[in-house]
Structure 1
Amino acid sequence: MDLNGLIKVVDEVDELESDVSFVRILWVTHSGQHRCRAIPRKRFYDVVAKNGVGLAFVSMVMTSFLDRPPSGCSVGLVGEARVTPDLSTIRTIPWSKQDEMVLGDLNVKPGQAWEHCPRDALRRVSKILKDEFDLVVNAGFENEFFLLKSITREEEEEWIPFDSSPYGCSSAFDVASPILREIASALHSIGIPVEQLHTETGKGQFEVVLGHTVCTKATDNLVYTRETVRAIARKHGLLATFLPKYILDEVGSGCHVHLSLWQNGQNVFMASDESSKYGISTLGEEFMAGVLHHLSSILSFVAPLPISYERLQPTTWGSYLLWGNENRSAPLRASSPPGTPNGLVSNFEFKPFDGVANPYLGLSAIIAAGIDGLRRHLSLPEPVDTCPNLKNLQRLPKSLSESLEALDKADFLVEFFGDKLLTAIKEIQKAEIDQYSENKDAYKQLIHRY
């Protein structure tokens, strides 16, 4: 065979491989579910990379329990958006190396975002913060999840923890180390830094702590992390779930996020010297005060299902309106990790966030609240640095219904999200409330969705 013949064969093999290799375009619905379209690699790079793929409007407003929109939803069956791949996010899939994955934006036409695009919502809010205050939010997520195994009892499948070891137990880490090591390696291969891995309080519960970075990238990293954890768990015959409560008598899983403010490459959430009252800069205090002030109003963005509120209980933490210095019972915790100068605070931890929230919408709501705090120069109340007297504290919404009532009063959010997106979110959450009030055990099936 001459050289030209060899080149032809190689080209034919490459074309054949591209036909059986796929690029998955990923997006996250308003109800926090990951969805994808798989495109043959050649077609993706020839056509879809530029033009995207069609997506029915209604696909974004499907509920957690059924692939249908809420009854009477303002987003109907007519109309189509385009899922346009953000090529800066394309990665080789670590557990399926012949394939790639990429995150998608939702556009109505090239270059024009659809008002329901969660990634664009976060970009819009971040731009307001940058334009008005020259500030950037950095974020780092802590991902708690359960690893479950399937057993059959009386001919019915049941999912139980794959291990029963307590918090921080090294033997539990030994049992799970093949999975955790593969997760960490996979995340490293796609540029996502892992800061810690450890066993959590629940049976079969673990946590992956991601490094902090600019908030738009941090949320992208979170989506890829969830994809990675679930896929590698399946590879090992297990099911990984980020559901805030998969059974009521077990501890819950959160998705705590650490937030800081940056300007010209410097952390300006932290005070410049120890003379600050709380070790937090004026900018940092006003931003955090806005988040605390609006916490009830934005709670349904970060805890969007009725089952979310089974985690936010007085017997755990994060259920009363307060902040504290290293206070684990507070929904907002001022944090001074090792290496922070004495008396100063480098970031604050926001604890109500959970693993069923759309991370782009959740983080957008937090930043919007912080912007309002900066605009109004809000001040933090005194921190609660002891075990609090709950009688003297305001309870956060105890249910999604109460959170939705608070959201209805949060007129300041219209500027950041727009009427159409806010209306759709409320419609979805009302449907969630109705579904789970009528079907008390329906949440148990959500381990297969989250």
Structure 2
Amino acid sequence: MRARDIRTPEEALGLIQDRGLTHIKIGLSDIDGILRGKYLRRDKAAGVMKDGLGFCNVVLGWDSSDQLYDNIQYTGWHTAYPDAWARVLPHTCRELPLEQANGHNMLFFLAEFADEKSAQICPRRLLQRVIAKAEAMGYDPYAALEYEFFVFEETPHSVREKGYRNLKPWTPGYFGYSVLRSTVNADFYQQLMDLSEQMDMPIEGLHTETGPGVLEAALGFDRAADMADKAILFKTFTKALAQKNGLMATFMAKWSHEYPGQSGHIHVSLKDKATGKGVFYDGDAPYKMSAVQRQFMGGVQRYLPEFFAMFAPTVNSYSRLVPGYWAPLDATWGVENRTTALRLIPGSEKSQRVEVRIGSADANPYLAVAAALAAGLLGIEQKLDPLPIVEGNAYTQKFDEALRFPATLWDAAQRLKGSEAARQVFGVPFVEHFAATREWEEREFRRHVTDWELARYFEII
């Protein structure tokens, strides 16, 4: 049996046994969308596959640098960081070609938190709740994600030794869609495409973007839940593959003020559960845009500013949001318009969709997909219409203040925390926990002095 055919604990255990593996590997998403995991010995895995396991809840109580939040209720020193119950998901079984064991690829499984309190905060479980809402409304949600990421001829040691300055990009200069670059560096491209095929996170398109050493990968369209799984795996194992090749890949939103930021665009559509047909398409309507798609668009436009922290979750995310660098500043929409936050892509019944262009590469894919989907579903429920379409360059036009995105992570956290819609669709425990973690992130940033401040003020002020 192939890894991707696994559906039950018994099948998973049978495959582990057949391959003579002594251990397997599991991982689950923390708040920031970083996979945290461990190896499990085969006899331990036998019980875990059926009954779950205890997983220290600190992974929901610390930041991306393992610093403990001091402003959350769910866990902390006041709870003594106990285990939370987690379950391993047999159907997520993957070959892990980057690791060999007993002549076979290591087997990797995704997991999620399962007890009542942790499930309210767990990013993967949050997306599952939003998908359940869509299904209750009669829809199957689908998504596809595109990621831009920069690659450097550096190592985790060298970037620290250099203080993250004077880094050497993998390739020099601006050369988008370069056939030359992809040919010269075909070995890495092929390794990445092969890895993505073997791990069932296939790349639909891969090309150089504008900037030194920057690539863009479009992941193949899939059900929203599977797409988010594939996205977090893609980010993690692209970085692992790069490091195994003496390179480093970064998905931070903007690594240098000299170059465009890195996006994580989200394509979303809905199918009718009963018929399997796309509900965004109406061949007789303007732009082939059905009433359901109009309402979905209206909802995403209306709630993007309130849910913004879930699309732009780091201090660095807001460095990307500047005019003229392909990152929209307002909750605008247009048809095939890449200067607006929402891009309507007319097509067939199968391809008609909405692209949420505001997402950055540093977003947790579970949270970003959940936010886009939830906002659109609210629009359908409330029968919202989008504001008038934007034509031409959105950067040069003025819009209603209500469409303006928060300018800082702190402001975004306050918008989310004060959003009744967010509390309704995501639950109060998640909203309060996530908003607090974003406040922490901003506070941590404020404790540090930047190079810009030193250069500007050290001598002259």
Residue in 2 that maps onto 1:160: 168
Alignment of 1:146 onto 2:150: yes
1:66-85 mapped onto 2 (5 Å cutoff): 66-77=65-76, 78=79, 79-85=82-88
In structure 2, do the counterparts of structure 1 residues 29 and 137 end up closer, same or farther at CA, with 3 Å as the change threshold? Answer: same
Q: By how many angstroms is 1:51 displaced? A: 2.9
Residue in 1 that maps onto 2:456: none
Alignment of 1:349 onto 2:363: no
Q: By how many angstroms is 1:345 displaced? A: 7.2
Give the whole-Å Cα distance in 1 for the aligned partners of 2:260 and 2:313. Answer: 18
Moved more, 323-332 or 393-402: 393-402
1:33-432 mapped onto 2 (5 Å cutoff): 33-40=34-41, 42-64=42-64, 66-77=65-76, 78=79, 79-98=82-101, 99-108=106-115, 114-131=119-136, 133-150=137-154, 156=162, 158=164, 159-165=167-173, 166-263=175-272, 264-271=275-282, 273-274=283-284, 276-316=285-325, 317-336=327-346, 340=348, 346-388=352-394, 389-392=396-399, 394=401, 395-432=404-441
SS of 2:114's equivalent?
A: strand
Q: Please, what TM-score do these two structures have when normalized by structure 2?
A: 0.85
Question: Contact 1:136 / 1:214 at 8 angstroms: preserved in 2?
Answer: yes
In structure 2, do the counterparts of structure 1 residues 333 and 48 end up closer, same or farther at CA, with 3 Å as the change threshold? Answer: same
What do residues 348-407 of structure 1 show as CA deviations (whole Å, max 9, x unaligned)? 111121222221122112222112111110001221121233334543222112212321
Q: By how many angstroms is 1:322 displaced? A: 0.8
In structure 2, do the counterparts of structure 1 residues 428 and 238 end up closer, same or farther at CA, with 3 Å as the change threshold? Answer: same
Give the whole-Å Cα distance in 1 for the aligned partners of 2:221 and 2:323. Answer: 29
Q: By how many angstroms is 1:147 displaced? A: 0.8
Q: By how many angstroms is 1:176 displaced? A: 2.9
Moved more, 374-383 or 245-254: 245-254
SS of 1:398's equivalent?
A: coil
Moved more, 402-411 or 421-430: 402-411
In structure 2, do the counterparts of structure 1 residues 153 and 80 end up closer, same or farther at CA, with 3 Å as the change threshold? Answer: closer
What do residues 84-113 of structure 1 show as CA deviations (whole Å, max 9, x unaligned)? 11000011102214311111010128xx97
In structure 2, do the counterparts of structure 1 residues 193 and 26 end up closer, same or farther at CA, with 3 Å as the change threshold? Answer: same
Runs of at least 5 residues in structure 2 that lack an aligned partner in the other structure: 1-16, 453-461
**Which amino acid in 2 is paired with 1:435?**
E
In structure 2, do the counterparts of structure 1 residues 371 and 193 end up closer, same or farther at CA, with 3 Å as the change threshold? Answer: same
Structural RMSD (CA): 2.5
Give the whole-Å Cα distance in 1 for the aligned partners of 2:306 and 2:438. Answer: 14
SS of 2:21's equivalent?
A: helix
Q: By how many angstroms is 1:128 displaced? A: 1.1
Question: Contact 2:145 / 2:267 at 8 angstroms: preserved in 1?
Answer: yes
SS of 2:264's equivalent?
A: coil
Residue in 1 that maps onto 2:455: none
Identity over aligned residues, as a percent? 24
Runs of at least 5 residues in structure 1 that lack an aligned partner in the other structure: 1-13, 444-450
Question: Contact 1:142 / 1:208 at 8 angstroms: preserved in 2?
Answer: yes
Give the whole-Å Cα distance in 2 for the aligned partners of 1:153 and 1:282. Answer: 51
Question: Contact 2:289 / 2:346 at 8 angstroms: preserved in 1?
Answer: no
**Which amino acid in 2 is paired with 1:268?**
V
In structure 2, do the counterparts of structure 1 residues 403 and 156 end up closer, same or farther at CA, with 3 Å as the change threshold? Answer: closer
Give the whole-Å Cα distance in 2 for the aligned partners of 1:145 and 1:18. Answer: 34
Alignment of 1:31 onto 2:39: no
Question: Contact 1:183 / 1:228 at 8 angstroms: preserved in 2?
Answer: no
Residue in 1 that maps onto 2:458: none
What do residues 5-60 of structure 1 show as CA deviations (whole Å, max 9, x unaligned)? xxxxxxxxx899533xx3221111112222111112x2344222123332222321
In structure 2, do the counterparts of structure 1 residues 136 and 440 end up closer, same or farther at CA, with 3 Å as the change threshold? Answer: farther
Q: Please, what TM-score do these two structures have when normalized by structure 1?
A: 0.87
* Aligned with residue 434 of structure 1, among 443, 448, 457: 443
Q: By how many angstroms is 1:173 displaced? A: 1.2
Question: Contact 2:312 / 2:362 at 8 angstroms: preserved in 1?
Answer: yes
What do residues 275-300 of structure 1 show as CA deviations (whole Å, max 9, x unaligned)? x1332111111011101001101110
Give the whole-Å Cα distance in 2 for the aligned partners of 1:270 and 1:404. Answer: 35
Give the whole-Å Cα distance in 2 for the aligned partners of 1:155 and 1:221. Answer: 33
